[in-house]
Chains A and B, each alone.
Chain A
Amino acid sequence: MSLAIAGMGWVTPLGTGVDSVWERLLQGEEASATTISEKLVDRVYSVFRVPESALKGISHPRLRRASAISRFAAAAGLHALESAGLKLESQNAERMALIFAISNGGVTYTKRFYHEIVGTGAQAASPLLFPETVFNAPASHLAAILGVTGATYTLVGDGAVGLAAITMAEELMANEALDYCLVVGTEEIDWLLCDAYRRWRLLRTAPPIEPFSKQNRGMILSEGAGAILLARDGFVTIERAHPGGHFRRRAEAEKILKRILRDLGQIEIDFVISSANGTFVDQAESQALQEIVSNAPAYTFKPALGESVGAAGLWQIIVAAQALHSKELPPVLHADHSVRLLLSLSRTPIAGARRAIVLSCGLNQQAAGLRLAIQ
């Protein structure tokens, strides 16, 4: 069974709206980094944030106290439905499932809630904040906004979780009682996350992200959401979602990526949307791509938009769908020209492109892939 993309929504540090963000990527634009600090610790990090203006017009009583992650998700989800021309009413709301992909979740409220406990004691803990710390809070808000009364799932994982959510959507859509599945990947930034990833030697303190560099200088975190409305018919189809698997050590990532590419690359592939982000992921993907699909150009948006972790997989699919549709790949920014991969270093026409692989290698041992096709 293949599923089709019926609509997409995108909230990114380069703005909101699939066509608008896509055009900016094609132009070779890069999001502006801002710095993020914490009162208690004298250390500053660079991040790519979603501009305030990107969420204009998104209001609902459920979002009044909601964290940024929930608002990003709501905006992307509503855009995806709008782009598909779908208005949910009680009858078709029953025939839609909602799947969220999240990695770090509502970390800002979680930190604030725990900060009160650490600083003042349990009696200071806010009953208003606590529910927003739960992983499925963003999904709950969007389900309420849309009136979804059936299956709502929140999947948690690393950067590959967005692709896992698509696999799950395939599994749910095996049930013919469903017409649609809205898959949303979302993430928000907090200083605490930056510090955690730095201690784990995955983050650099200032841009750029240099993809496929041998130095692995690290990534810059970003935030936002991506939403994809899946239906049974449409122009761009998900031919196959590969559930991938996990690797025990970073050195083993390459092996599983090769397996995914081998399985998905049994037919001609025109390009690959990689998850390279300036970390160990890049070498693993580079080796796998060189060995399995060396003739297909590769693109990563992460130097332009940053590493949005739980949202990243959905962003990759949006990029792949847009590239299949527009027959162009944006330039890979800040790439090492000596890299032995076929990278789209400038805006590259891909006339006749019909199939793409989305490859996702997470930072916490998970990897997955999928293959998109255009009719």
Chain B
Amino acid sequence: MAEADRPKSTNDPCRVVVTAAGVVSPLGFGLAETLESLRCARDCVTPVMRFSVTQCRCKTAGQISDLRLLARHAQIPRSGRLHRASYMMIHALQELVTQQPEFEPELTVIGTTSGGMSYGERYYRSLNGAADLRHAPTWIANYPAQKPVIDAQTAFDISAPCHVIANACASGTNAIGHAFECVRSGRYKRVLAGGYDALAEMVFVGFDSLQASTPEKCRPFDRLRSGMVLGEGAAVVALENLELARKRGAPVLAEIIGYGISTDNFHITQPEPSGIGARQAMERALDGAQISPADVDYINAHGTATVFNDATEGKAIRALFNGVPVSSTKSMMGHSLGAAGAIEAVVSLLALQHQFLPANINYTASDDDVDLNIVANEARPAAVNVALSNSFGFGGTNASLLMRRLEA
């Protein structure tokens, strides 16, 4: 970026808007299918068939159909070699590019946790004699976390440098949040941001070994909650300087108004029990946006449905907000880790655009320790002008994103 293009003062932040978005998740391919699933409060968690789960407590996940995912093979060079995560990114980016063909990002910021992990698994199993190693170079070349991002950019002739953030389950929100700050500061005019993750055996078994995943339904914030289910997917958003977006006549889907990040340093897998880390992230987002908690109309919670995580997030929300509607859409599609924050930002975007509250399904009984205004089991119409999306991850990393409806 030329020196002249840089901001004159950090005291004069730019407004940042989302001008296009793309998503693929267990809820569907694209914004329209996702919206339909959200409105119907559809349970998209299904039995895992991709690898053996016979020895795991949990046997389900939110999954994306390979049949649809790989349908674009013929249009992409060397596509047979790509990891499914690349296809997820390609599908999501295709939707974004279709909406905004003129969007040329100067920077790409994408979150993930696992990259092409399943190719690493294949390679290791083959070394152990399970199969031949003829395809090993392909698996190795497509294993790195940045590869699906580069594949997707290549498919649409985007040449922006990419930052791949791996902040565990907060990665997607961190990616959009950092991209937001890059545009807000004036250093960049257009940034592509999002997240992806594809289901992998090692990660699935890992959460199972921690007894964080459940053999039952995923019931965030429910008194009977017993753990999470995993998911997968990808989502991307086009972030632009509002003034420049308006100048070129780009549609504005929503405005991003705040981002908060905190690190709570309590434990590598457990949140600080008082909820201070989660609370700080939300407070910082509110401070940055210069709004009060009363201005927030909906919270898309991290809500993994583990006993500790939901209790901690519940405490943090209760400490700041008074009766704001809350739901965890992971109940419908599972926890897609590095993609979760990005997919849930798109869910929040849809809530703002279409004026409804997405549901927290499988909800049976309220928990006195997590006394929240849960959007139980059914989506419902509501005036939603400001939405907050939370993501918290291993390593005590916490992130919150605030979005606002913006009339054209």
Contact = CB atoms under 8 A, between A and B. Distances in A.
A157 B161 CA distance: 11
Given A125-B205, A127-B210, A140-B395, A148 B164 contact: no
A58 interface: no
A244 B161 contact: yes
Interface stretch (B21-29, B259-267, B303-311, B326-334): B259-267
Given A140-B268, A152-B167, A245-B161, A111 B146 contact: no
Contacts of B54: 122
Nearest to B204: A122
B123 interface: yes
A157 B124 contact: no
A141 B6 CA distance: 35
B176 to A, nearest CB: 13
Contact of B178 (A171, A243, A368): A171
A295 B105 CA distance: 34
A158 B202 contact: no
B287 to A, nearest CB: 10
Contacts of A354: none
B262 A150 contact: yes
B269 interface: yes
A40 interface: yes
Interface stretch (A13-21, A128-136, A209-217, A334-342): A128-136
Interface in A132-180: 132-137, 139-141, 143-144, 147-158, 164, 167-168, 171-172, 174-176
A41 interface: yes
Contacts of A200: 137, 140-141
A157 B10 contact: no
A364 interface: yes
Given A125-B208, A134-B394, A174-B187, A196 B164 contact: no
A156 B125 CA distance: 24
**Which among A110, A172, A199 has the greatest number of chain B C-beta atoms within 10 A?**
A199
Given A102-B166, A174-B187, A365-B150, A118 B397 contact: no
Contact of A149 (B159, B265, B394): B265
Contacts of A134: 113, 166, 168, 268, 394-395
Given A130-B210, A175-B185, A122 B394 contact: no
Contact of A131 (B112, B264, B268): B268
Given A41-B127, A195-B127, A200-B140, A152 B161 contact: no
A168 B178 contact: yes
Contacts of A150: 261-263
Given A117-B205, A143-B396, A171 B167 contact: no
**Which among A118, A137, A167, A246 has the greatest number of chain B C-beta atoms within 10 A?**
A246
B362 to A, nearest CB: 24
Interface string B121-134: 10111011010010
B199 to A, nearest CB: 14
> In which size bucket is the chain B interface?
35 or more
Q: Binding site of A, secondary structure by majority: helix, strand, loop or mixed?
A: mixed
A114 B121 CA distance: 8
Nearest to B153: A246
Contacts of A275: none
A243 B205 contact: no
B265 A147 contact: yes
A111 B162 CA distance: 27
A125 to B, nearest CB: 4
Contacts of B214: none
B129 to A, nearest CB: 8
B124 A114 contact: yes
A149 B107 contact: no
Given A41-B127, A150-B263, A137 B394 contact: yes
A229 B115 CA distance: 29
A143 B395 contact: yes
A195 B10 CA distance: 48
B262 A133 contact: no
B377 interface: no
Contacts of A131: 210, 268-269, 394
B164 A156 contact: yes
B293 interface: no
A86 interface: no
A196 B150 CA distance: 20
A140 B125 CA distance: 30
B187 to A, nearest CB: 6
A122 B159 contact: no
Interface string A62-83: 1000000000000000000000
Contacts of A149: 262-265, 280
Interface of B: 6-7, 10, 52-56, 107, 112-113, 115, 121, 123-125, 127-128, 130, 133, 136-137, 140-141, 143-147, 150, 153-154, 159-168, 174, 178, 181-182, 185, 187, 201-202, 205-211, 261-265, 268-269, 280, 393-397
Smallest CB-CB A-B distances: 8 pairs: A140-B395, A135-B166, A130-B206, A243-B161, A122-B55, A125-B209, A144-B265, A156-B145
Given A153-B167, A197-B140, 17 more contacts: A40-B127, A118-B125, A122-B55, A135-B166, A136-B168, A137-B395, A143-B265, A150-B262, A152-B397, A154-B167, A156-B145, A157-B146, A158-B144, A171-B187, A196-B143, A244-B161, A364-B147
12 contacts: A114-B121, A117-B205, A130-B206, A131-B269, A136-B393, A140-B268, A153-B178, A154-B166, A156-B164, A157-B162, A196-B123, A364-B147
Interface of A: 1, 40-41, 62, 98, 102-103, 110-111, 113-115, 117-119, 121-123, 125-127, 130-137, 139-141, 143-144, 147-158, 164, 167-168, 171-172, 174-176, 192, 195-197, 199-201, 243-246, 248, 364-366, 368
